[in-house]
């Protein structure tokens, strides 16, 4: 998964069952008409064939810009096809097609967010956990699905070769004792696919990277450095665009996470950084890498893996083009989305929550009824000038809405079936607590059961 890639966070099947049960109970008890989470953005994706078309995942739906971030229009959750608390992984495909991983399936828009439907796929009611679009062939994508079993979940991969219209079975399943959580493809090798996951043996967790060189027909498993007492999962951050053997991984934990790199296709992985890791991005040529979290934005050359701190801001997402680094942050840092032309040292604010123009005009019929509540959460005035509302795809206009005092939206814990690169660590941490509580109850009721961990 890239993006936010991904995108895009992991345990054994028994823990997954506990997680799913806890998540379902928790989510159902907190769902509301507009989910009530504190508004933020935590994934940004750049269209593969139009660098001016940006899509951002937010806690209140999607935001789209057709002019490199000068103007932003809102697409509500109900228009996309979901409700409640979810954090879909977004993928941008050829010709302005947007896809998103949902508990309900793969949502798809072929016209830059105007109309939405679901991709054809045999899901059987199973959630789509992650997806990734091939950079070398942006009309192809892979999707990761979890199927509930008597105990836990199994994983399977689906593939689309028709710009997301349909998804069909891909390759052979990875070991069902492993809960797979992220996947990515190598842009320089059409047959190379990576997946990450964890397993538990006698209650001890371990993390693995899986590699296939024949479109998922055969999988090789390689152990990843992992501290089961501290770390909760391992996730694919990116695959080098020019070297299929170079893959970046990150772990997540409640305290300190690690960035790891492998130069031999996953056979050996080594930690290269330890700190707060909420996001990661590679330059299009793979030579520059950027990562960040609660302790700022860091960057450096992939050739020497020496990093320096570029900016003091809370980094919630990252994306990069040849000449621009995009970052999601919060208004305390000065912007919700910003752009840097100097490698992440300084940023020009592109998006403030109070400058969202309103519902994308072509989807406004479905979204207007939710806009009054969302606009209050974003700090917009209740009266919105119709001329400042979001235009049709590609339309330009001034930012709408007059700033009022910030909305006091209640902070509610988030829960999601999607574990994207940019947003899954904090979500997983919460669900892990719930899962452990559920498992503790199971241990008391079934003394012989083991306590697996993620």
In this predicted model, what pLDDT tens digit does every residue of 234-283 receive, in sequence order? Answer: 999 999 999 999 999 999 887 789 999 999 999 999 999 999 999 999 99
Biggest CA-to-CA distance, the chain: 66
- The percentage of the chain sitting over the pLDDT mark of 90, rounded to a whole number, equals 67
DSSP assignment of 174-240: --TTSEEEEEEE-TT-TT-EEEEEEEEETTEEEEEEEEESSTTSS-EEEEE---TTTEEEEEEEEE-
pLDDT score at 432? 44
> Are 170 and 134 in contact, with CB atoms under 8 Å apart?
no
Residue with tokens 């452990």: 436
Residue 171 has pLDDT above 80, yes or no: yes
pLDDT score at 43? 98
Residue 427 has pLDDT above 60, yes or no: no
3-state DSSP assignment of residue 386: helix
Q: Report, in angstroms and rounded to the nearest whole number, the Rg of the chain calculated over CA atoms.
A: 21
Contacts of 152 (CB under 8 A, 6+ apart): 12, 13, 14, 15, 16, 17, 179
What's the pLDDT tens digit per position in 350-374? 999 999 999 999 988 889 999 999 9
3-state DSSP assignment of residue 326: strand
pLDDT score at 402? 27
pLDDT category of residue 50 using cuts at 50, 70 and 90? very high
pLDDT score at 407? 32
Kind and range of the H or E run holding 427: helix 424-445
What's the pLDDT tens digit per position in 114-123? 999 999 999 9
pLDDT score at 380? 83
The DSSP call for residue 441 is: H
Residue 395 has pLDDT above 90, yes or no: no
- For the whole model, what pTM was predicted? 0.79
Arithmetic mean of pLDDT, 386-401 = 39
Residue 423 has pLDDT above 70, yes or no: no
First-last CA distance in the chain: 20
Kind and range of the H or E run holding 43: strand 41-47
Arithmetic mean of pLDDT, 80-95 = 95
pLDDT score at 381? 63
> Are 1 and 130 in contact, with CB atoms under 8 Å apart?
yes
pLDDT score at 142? 98
Arithmetic mean of pLDDT, 176-187 = 94
Structure tokens at 214: 């024949």
Distance CA 413, CA 434 (A): 12
Which whole-number Å values give the CA distances from 255 to 54, 218, 305, in the listed order?
32, 36, 23
Report the range out of 54-58, 196-200, 359-363 with the highest average pLDDT: 54-58
pLDDT category of residue 65 using cuts at 50, 70 and 90? very high
* 4: phi then psi, degrees, rounded to nearest 5: -115, -5
Distance CA 319, CA 329 (A): 12
Q: Cα torsion at 197, 202, 204, 209 (round to 10°)?
A: -20
Residue 413 has pLDDT above 50, yes or no: no
pLDDT score at 223? 96
Distance CA 269, CA 259 (A): 10
Q: Please, what are the domains in the chain?
A: 13-445 (2.130.10.10)
Higher pLDDT, 228 or 152: 228
What's the pLDDT tens digit per position in 308-357? 999 999 999 999 999 999 999 999 899 999 999 999 999 999 999 999 99
């Amino acid at each position: 998964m890239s993006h936010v890639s991904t995108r895009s966070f992991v345990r054994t099947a028994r823990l997954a069952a506990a997680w799913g049960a806890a998540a379902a109970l928790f989510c159902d008890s907190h769902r509301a008409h507009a989910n009530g989470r504190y508004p933020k953005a935590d994934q940004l994706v750049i269209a593969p064939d139009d660098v001016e078309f940006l899509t951002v995942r937010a806690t209140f739906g999607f935001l789209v810009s057709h002019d490199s971030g000068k103007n932003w229009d809102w697409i509500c959750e109900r228009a996309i096809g979901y409700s409640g608390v979810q954090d879909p992984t977004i993928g941008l495909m050829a010709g302005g097609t947007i896809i998103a991983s949902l508990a309900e399936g793969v949502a798809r828009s072929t016209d830059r967010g105007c109309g939405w439907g679901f991709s054809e796929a045999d899901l059987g009611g199973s959630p789509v956990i992650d997806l990734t679009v091939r950079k070398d062939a942006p009309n192809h994508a892979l999707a990761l699905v979890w199927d509930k079993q008597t105990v836990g979940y199994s994983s399977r991969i689906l593939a689309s070769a028709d710009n997301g219209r349909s998804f069909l079975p891909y390759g052979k399943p990875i070991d069902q004792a492993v809960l797979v959580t992220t996947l990515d493809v190598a842009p320089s090798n059409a047959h190379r696919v990576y997946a990450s996951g964890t397993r538990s043996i006698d209650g001890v967790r371990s993390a693995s990277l899986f590699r296939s060189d024949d479109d998922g027909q055969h999988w090789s498993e390689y152990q990843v450095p992992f501290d089961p007492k501290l770390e909760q999962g391992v996730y694919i951050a990116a695959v080098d665009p020019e070297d299929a053997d170079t893959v970046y991984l990150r772990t997540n934990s409640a305290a300190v996470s690690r960035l790891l790199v492998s130069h031999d296709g996953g056979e050996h992985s080594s930690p290269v950084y330890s700190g707060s890791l909420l996001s990661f991005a590679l330059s299009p040529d793979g030579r520059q890498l950027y990562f960040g979290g609660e302790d700022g934005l860091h960057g450096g050359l992939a050739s020497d893996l020496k990093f320096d701190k570029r900016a003091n801001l809370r980094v919630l997402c990252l994306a990069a083009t040849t000449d621009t680094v995009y970052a999601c942050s919060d208004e305390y840092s000065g912007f919700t989305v910003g752009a840097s032309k100097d490698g992440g040292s300084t940023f020009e604010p592109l998006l403030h929550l109070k400058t969202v123009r309103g519902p994308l005009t072509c989807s406004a019929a479905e979204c207007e009824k939710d806009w009054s509540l969302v606009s209050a959460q974003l700090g917009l005035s209740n009266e919105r000038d119709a001329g400042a509302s979001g235009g049709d795809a590609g339309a330009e206009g001034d930012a709408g809405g007059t700033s009022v005092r910030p909305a006091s939206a209640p902070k509610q814990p988030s829960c999601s079936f999607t574990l994207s690169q940019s947003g899954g660590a904090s979500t997983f941490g919460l669900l892990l607590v719930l899962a452990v509580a559920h498992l503790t109850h199971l241990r008391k009721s079934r003394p012989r059961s083991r306590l697996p961990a993620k």
